[in-house]
Amino acid sequence: MGKPTVGLFGLTGCAGDQLVILNCEDQLLDLVGALDIRDFLMASSDNDVQCDLDLALVEGAVLSKRDEEKLIRIRQRSKALMAVGTCAVWGGVAAMDRALDRAKLLRDIYGEQGAQYDSLPARALHEVVKVDLNLAGCPIEKEQFLSAVSNLLNGDPPILPEYPVCAECRMREYNCLLIEKGQVCCGPLTLAGCGARCPGLGIPCVGCRGPADDANVASALTMFGEKGIPREAIAAKLRTFAPMSGDRS
Amino acid sequence: MTTKIQVEHLARVEGHGGITVELDGSAVTAVRFDIFEGARLLEGLVRGRSYEDISQILSRICAICSVAHSLTSLKATEAALEVKVSPQTDLLRDLLYRGESIQSHALHLFCLALPDYLNYPSVTALAGDHLDAVTLGLRMKKLGNSIQETLGGRAVHPVNAVLGGFGKLPSTDQLIALREGLLQGMVDTETAIELLASLPAADFCHSETVFAALRSPGQHGYYLGDEIIVRSNGLRRSVPAAEYRSLTNERAVPGSHAKHSALNGRPLMVGALARLSINREGLSAGAAAALERLGLTLPSDNPMDNNKAQAVELVHDVERALATVERLLEEGLNEERCVPVPPRAGTGTAATEAPRGLLIHSYTYDDAGRIVAADVITPTALNAASIEDHLRRTVEQSPDQDVAALTKKLEMIARAYDPCISCSVHLLQRHHAA
């Protein structure tokens, strides 16, 4: 079997996940050697924009008609599509407070002509097309990306955590910022994979990796309540990187 | 006869943009540096958010400049809330900022720009024939990232730089590891300058240019300072950061996005070349030698020289970062806590130098420390008019109008600015509306 054909794409975002890939300095040349990268606009001016792809890696959120059309086209030409980064997986920072009046925001920031921009409320990829794999993180973790790609190259599914940051934090025996200091830490509800980086630095988790499937929400809410942290405070934090289920697009 | 030269998707830059030039015979009738990024409306979305959340949210404007956005955000909030951080915090922030500059310049010079000079479509294609050059670039890039990881907690969207100071200070072992990397960096930057000095000249656009940069007299630094200098051909104007709006009073020009800046109605160029033109006296010895070796004369009238200017800064930043790390190892770090930052009402503006030029954040907070208004002016937005001006001159100054050759030159000019299009979207769209 030949090398898998791969495309790397960015919709609207900060390009941070593509940057993390380019930051794999020690593995970059092996990585591009193991893959047949056909389309990677951020790194190459010679791209095949038509060919079929075994795997499309897509970062960023859908924020315009242009993004939407581009994503649909990427989906059509790809056997598998991986959402890369919190914007692609959840909508990211642009999706916070999706219930706000977007037309008004456009007017406030860009003046009257803002209404004419190609601008849609932020959506995650799965709200537009079928997504086969999710790699969350704002930005993604280098090691997780490399391990996911290695697994895929071996024909295995990537192994990604479903438990919360809290579990990683305890395994590393960091001091609990929530219980010991009463700080608003999103660790109990946020997807692991970062090695509890922020709590390890004495900084509360801001939830940049989006919600964890395996989180014990009831217990976390009780814990926040016991610490006198209002539900709205934790909701505002969590909403920063992933829209709450109540915030419709 | 009308001709249209179009680069639909500009490759090897951050974000999504394109170039369009229209000609009637040999006369240029329209020049556009187009932006295709969706509007994320972050300045609107942060309204009502606590001052404690702002730097984490607004760093997401851009990944390559995420240290710049984070630190500028912290500086603006601390100014608004009238908080003064310790000299040690200032020194560590300066070091973190240099880490970003090393990473960003190495990425731009070796992975994005170098393929143009040697006629390859990408850095990976380049690696096939010039493996040493690529591994050299990647090693310097990694050095910048290791500084960002040590001080910022991670390389993209730093978490460890917070209001009032740092979450956790670097350990002696971490500083020793950085020193080792920087010593190798001293050797690597020397090799890099020799390599870059051997490249074919990129000499196809000349114009007297107006430069703007944050004044940093002793250090040629990126973080400290509150005075913006605008200079051109003997003229020099000082603008306090708080009056930044006088630099950005743009208006649209038909057929172009050209903004009219404050100095004689001519567009401003920001970035490495502007910084060297304004802060040259602060360069380290090695950087001053690199400037000579690259044959860079200041002020330059060739926008392609921004690449050389970034190379000079690469030398300078490695040298300055090494001096800082050695000083920290010698004197030891004070195990100080962050300065407390209680909420209060106020307005604060901060200017710093992102790798690609002047960056401004300006915020107003209410009594409870909730943000009432946020304004962000990014370097690529400031550069947009200048990019268009230089694209126009490139076409006008080309002896022949061969479309393929011209297209490559246009791409190289735009790329020399190291544009960061995610960053630029805000002002450009507002500018479209003007």
pLDDT category at B424 given cuts 50, 70, 90 is low
Q: Which residue has the tokens 């926008």?
A: B303
> Which residues neighbour B184 within 8 Å (Cβ) at sequence distance 6 or greater?
B139, B143
Average the pLDDT over B167-189 and give the result.
Answer: 98
pLDDT tens digits, one per residue of A153-162: 999 999 999 9
Element (H, E) at B240: strand B235-240
So what's the pLDDT on residue B219?
A: 87
Q: Is-contact B48 A124, C-beta < 8 A?
A: no
So what's the pLDDT on residue A56?
A: 98
**Mutation site for A-interface testing, chosen from B111, B122, B134, B151 by largest number of A Cβ within 10 Å:** B122
Chain A within 8 Å of B44 (Cβ-Cβ)? yes
Is residue B257 pLDDT above 80, yes or no? no
What is the percent of chain A where pLDDT is above 90?
Answer: 78
User: How many Å apart are CA B240 and CA B345, to the nearest integer?
Assistant: 22
So what's the pLDDT on residue B416?
A: 96
- Residues of B351-360 as b/e, b for ≥16 C-beta within 10 angstroms? bbbbbbbbbb
pTM for the whole thing?
0.95
User: How many Å apart are CA B310 and CA B31, to the nearest integer?
Assistant: 26
> Which residues neighbour B263 within 8 Å (Cβ) at sequence distance 6 or greater?
B210, B230, B232, B235, B237
DSSP for B79-126? HHTT----HHHHHHHHHHHHHHHHHHHHIIIIIIIHHHHTT-SBHHHH
What residues of chain A, 41 to 70, have a C-beta less than 8 Å from chain B?
A: 41-47, 61-64, 66-67
- Are the Cβ atoms of A122 and B14 closer than 8 angstroms? no
Q: Which two tokens stand for residue B286?
A: 């090695």
So what's the pLDDT on residue B39?
A: 80
Instruction: Give A218 to chain B, closest Cα distance, Å.
Output: 25
- Average pLDDT score, chain B: 91
Domain count, chain B: 1
pLDDT tens digits, one per residue of B104-147: 999 999 999 999 999 999 998 999 999 999 999 999 999 999 99
User: How many Å apart are CA B222 and CA B415, to the nearest integer?
Assistant: 22
Residue A225, CB-side half-sphere exposure with 13 Å CA sphere: 6
Chain B within 8 Å of A138 (Cβ-Cβ)? yes
User: How many Å apart are CA B102 and CA B141, to the nearest integer?
Assistant: 6
Domains and CATH numbers, chain A: 5-153 (3.40.50.700), 165-239 (no CATH)
pLDDT category at B152 given cuts 50, 70, 90 is very high
So what's the pLDDT on residue A248?
A: 40
Q: Is-contact B420 B380, C-beta < 8 A?
A: yes
User: How many Å apart are CA B377 and CA B258, to the nearest integer?
Assistant: 16
pLDDT tens digits, one per residue of B373-406: 999 999 988 998 899 999 999 999 998 778 999 9
So what's the pLDDT on residue B430?
A: 42
**C-alpha torsion B406→B412→B413→B419, nearest 10:** 140
User: How many Å apart are CA B22 and CA B407, to the nearest integer?
Assistant: 12
- Average pLDDT score, chain A: 92
Average the pLDDT over B72-94 and give the result.
Answer: 98
Looking at residue A123, the DSSP 8-state letter turns out to be B
Query: B352: domain CATH number?
Result: 1.10.645.10
Closest Cα partner for B322 from B186, B190, B419? B186
Strands across the sheet with A78-84, in order? A36-40, A5-10, A53-59, A78-84, A133-135
- Are the Cβ atoms of A20 and B156 closer than 8 angstroms? yes
**C-alpha torsion B56→B62→B68→B70, nearest 10:** 0
Owning domain of residue B156: 2-433
**Mutation site for A-interface testing, chosen from B42, B45, B138 by largest number of A Cβ within 10 Å:** B45
So what's the pLDDT on residue B263?
A: 60
- Amino acid of residue B99: G
- Are the Cβ atoms of A19 and B432 closer than 8 angstroms? no
